[in-house]
Amino acid sequence: MDFDLIQRLRMGGSSDAFALTAIGTAMLLSSPYFGDVPVGATAGLAGLGGAMIGWRLFKHIRETNILTSQLDLKSSKLPIDVPRNASLPDGLLIGYTTDRGLPVWVSDENLMRHAMVCGQSGVGKTVALSFLMFQQIQRGGSVIFVDGKMNSQDLETIHKYCAWCGREHDLLVISPGNPKMSNSYSPVVDGSPDEVVSRILSLIPDTSSDAGSDHYRQAANQGLSVILYALRAAGLAYTFMDLTMLLINARAMEYLVNKTPPGPEKTSLQIFLSNFKAKGGGLDVQKMRETFGGIGGRMYQFATGDFGQVLNSYSPEVRLYDALREGKIVYVQLPTMGKSEAAQNFGKMVIGDLRTAVSWLQALPEEQLPNPPILGIFDEAGSYVSDSWARMFEQSRSARMILIPAVQTIANLEAVSEELKEMILGNTWSKIFFKLGTQATAEEAAELIGKYRAVLRDIKSTNTQNQSGRFLSVTADIGVGDGAGLMIGERQEETYKVSPDDLKALDKGECVMTYGGSNVYGIRIPKIDISPEFAKEIGPAKINRRKTSYRRGIDLFKHASSYLNAEDQEYLSKKAEDA
């Protein structure tokens, strides 16, 4: 037991005073001056006091590495201290400290300041996210879980959680890679025309550094805006296929002009189309294609195939704002392996749709805001988010929403933009780091976790011997001397609370969490397992079909063959491949 530990004990208080008094009294009574005091009495007092002091001295041993861990970290004071037999707090349990086995709860208020999860694949990120989601389902809250990978097992797990909590019918699935296991959904149904245009343009890479490409982007922006305002004025819903045909087909565009009632929207549409007038009258289809072909091809990806089966609906079963207000669990599967580009673009539009839902939630009276807060989990977020996502971290707290992005490296966010990375790092109250696979991420994570001032002691010892003499003299004159010295020096040095090497050596299911910028915890994450008997009883995941209110659409896709000939479809397919 080192002296530093005794110093940290900070002896004091009634129990320590009693223990020391008992020991002192036993020593005093054992003196001959007190005569024949029974040995049992003195031994009992000494034993009692010694036991109490020993209990204090060995407290650090009792509370060290209760859960298996090679990390030598003393966790900070708990964010919420939950006494035994007390009711559970309004918040979520993150896990248990490895040093003392205590539960780490984070309140809803601080969860709405958001969190970030970082760690390489297969080390426990998904288990941790699933554990949070299970608690949210159990307490009746809304969830949106955007999963950046196509894994049928994850859907089965969520289905089991919902069934176990009695909420099987609250599960909604958006899976454009597997239409048979998906509800219908459209990211262009809700929101103002400007919001929808913003989502569609997220399909186009940033063109700010290329004047030529930016010209076509701005033309597409203007064209889509006037088209969507005209559709809204006509009271007509639309799909990706409708928009695709409007952008490249003259007859489809003329049909919209005829359907749009007189007003500023129709006037704006006619003025815009005057840019594409052919010499002999009508619209110059080739010029329209040159202007909108790129964005038309990208939307065509979502209008056909598996994506089209899920997204071509005027009255989709999943409308994010309604689903989140009604307490639903929305699971979004992105087929990033098989259809990487399309999946990433689709993910960006889902995020854009979610931004609209958040803005609508912000406008609600406080008593109508969701309670508990909505839980938003975004696994493999770096593959589908964009710069526009950053603002949600500033605004969604007022909508009572928790955002938890998960990435493999911090560089995944930096690859999107430096601004996005800084916004997420600066606006996440809690950061949870699992085993990290790169030195750069480990060093940046160690910096985020923080440093402390440590006192380093240097001890140096010296030994000297010397001998001198005049051997040519008649009488020898010899001197012999020995010397020894001990030098002790101290210096202060900043050192990592958790080193980069420690972060790279974490075990599966183990993480380090920094909370509020200063508190640090070594944590083990529990895994929720559903018994095979219960899993067999509830059976495989099923899609909950929902009745939706009828919305009148422009219905161009029903007559696609009369608008799009084989040449048009070949042209769009090539544009989609180029995209």
pLDDT digit string (tens) for 176-196?
988 999 999 999 989 899 999
Q: How far apart are CA 233 and CA 236, in angstroms?
A: 8
**In the chain, % of residues over pLDDT 90:** 40
Higher per-residue pLDDT: 162 or 121: 162
**What is the DSSP secondary structure assignment for residue 185, as one 8-state letter?**
B
Q: How many CB atoms lie within 10 A of CB 196?
A: 25
Terminal C-alpha separation, the chain: 67
**Of 542, 9, 575, the residue nearest 293 (C-alpha):** 575
pLDDT of residue 310: 93
Contact 139, 95 (CB under 8 A): no
Mean pLDDT of the chain: 82
The distance from CA 89 to its chain's CA centroid, rounded to whole angstroms, is 22
Q: What per-residue confidence (pLDDT) applies to 434?
A: 95
Chain centroid to Cα 189, Å, comes to 26
Across 290-329, b (16+ Cβ under 10 Å) vs e yields ebbbbbbbbbbbbbbebbbebbbbbbbbbbbbebbbebbb
pLDDT at 354: 94
Determine the Cα–Cα distance for residues 429 and 424; give it in Å rounded to an integer: 10
Q: Pick the residue with more confidence: 60 or 166?
A: 166
pLDDT range class, residue 56, cuts 50, 70, 90: low
Q: How far apart are CA 386 and CA 364, in angstroms?
A: 27
pLDDT of residue 49 exceeding 60, the answer is: no
Q: How far apart are CA 429 and CA 115, in angstroms?
A: 6
Structure tokens at 14: 């009634």
pTM: 0.80
Contact assessment for residue 149 and residue 337, using Cβ atoms and an 8 Å cutoff: yes
What confidence tens digit (pLDDT) does each residue in 517-569 have? 889 999 999 988 888 999 999 999 999 988 887 788 888 866 666 666 666 66
Measured CA distances, 364 to 196, 360, 400 (Å): 21, 7, 11
- Output the six-digit token pair for 267: 């006037």
Model confidence pLDDT, tens digit, residues 349-359: 999 999 999 99
pLDDT at residue 447, rounded to an integer: 92
Which of 32-41, 49-58, 457-466, 496-505 is predicted least confidently?
Answer: 49-58
Residue identified by tokens 């913003």 is 198
List C-alpha distances in Å: 457 to 56, 65, 410, 451, 566: 27, 27, 36, 18, 82
- Reported as a single tens digit per residue, the pLDDT across 261-319 is 999 999 999 998 988 888 777 888 788 877 776 787 788 888 888 899 999 899 999 99
Find the Cα–Cα–Cα–Cα dihedral 93, 56, 495, 408, rounded to 10°: -20
Does the structure show a pLDDT above 50 at 2?
no
Closest CA to 404 of 145, 171, 155, 91: 145
Q: What pLDDT shows up at residue 33? A: 59
% of the chain at pLDDT higher than 70: 74
Q: What is the pLDDT of residues 388-440, one digit of tens each?
A: 788 888 889 999 999 999 999 998 888 888 888 898 999 999 999 999 989 99
